[in-house]
Amino acid sequence: GAGVSQSPRYKVAKRGQDVALRCDPISGHVSLFWYQQALGQGPEFLTYFQNEAQLDKSGLPSDRFFAERPEGSVSTLKIQRTQQEDSAVYLCASSLGLAGHSTQYFGPGTRLTVL
């Protein structure tokens, strides 16, 4: 594809609901990252995949957050029992090579609002 795509672009959830956010990286990109960006702040690292392997999940804020990339392409970030502090923009980025060695291309993000 032309770039990284994410869906939905906007999601409103009631507190306690589960949500699933999808990321379609650029075709052929090995590395995939998820970030959380609160209003007025920089993106914060959540997790990193190299192909289908989740190599780093140290940024996931709690065990309510779960990410997968089962076939090494599309990735899903799932948040269970959403809380108001989960409200943020969730950004996905992909890069052609290994992490730290190639440019990250960001998707447009999913803006999650938890009421």
Partner 1 sequence: GQQVMQIPQYQHVQEGEDFTTYCNSSTTLSNIQWYKQRPGGHPVFLIQLVKSGEVKKQKRLTFQFGEAKKNSSLHITATQTTDVGTYFCAGDNTNAGKSTFGDGTTLTVKP
Residue 56 Cβ, how far from partner 1 at the closest point, in Å? Answer: 6
Kindly tell me which of 14 and 100 has the beta carbon lying closer to partner 1. 100
Angle at 56 between CA 55 and CA 59, to 5 degrees: 165
25 binds partner 1 (CB under 8 A): no
Choose, by CB under 8 A, the member of 1, 28, 70, 100 that binds partner 1: 100
Distance CA 100, CA 85 (A): 29
End-to-end CA distance of the chain: 34
DSSP for 20-41? EEEEEPPTT--EEEEEEE-TTS
Q: What is the DSSP letter of 85?
A: G
Closest Cα to residue 46, out of 3, 113, 109? 109
Residue 13 Cβ, how far from partner 1 at the closest point, in Å? Answer: 21
42 binds partner 1 (CB under 8 A): yes
Indicate the length of the chain as a whole number.
115
Which among 12-20, 62-70, 72-80, 104-112 is the span making contact with partner 1, rule CB under 8 A?
Answer: 104-112
Residue 66 Cβ, how far from partner 1 at the closest point, in Å? Answer: 18
Choose, by CB under 8 A, the member of 43, 60, 82, 88 that binds partner 1: 43
**Footprint on this chain of partner 1 (rule: CB under 8 A):** 31, 33, 35, 40-45, 48, 55-56, 58-59, 91, 93, 95, 98-101, 103-109
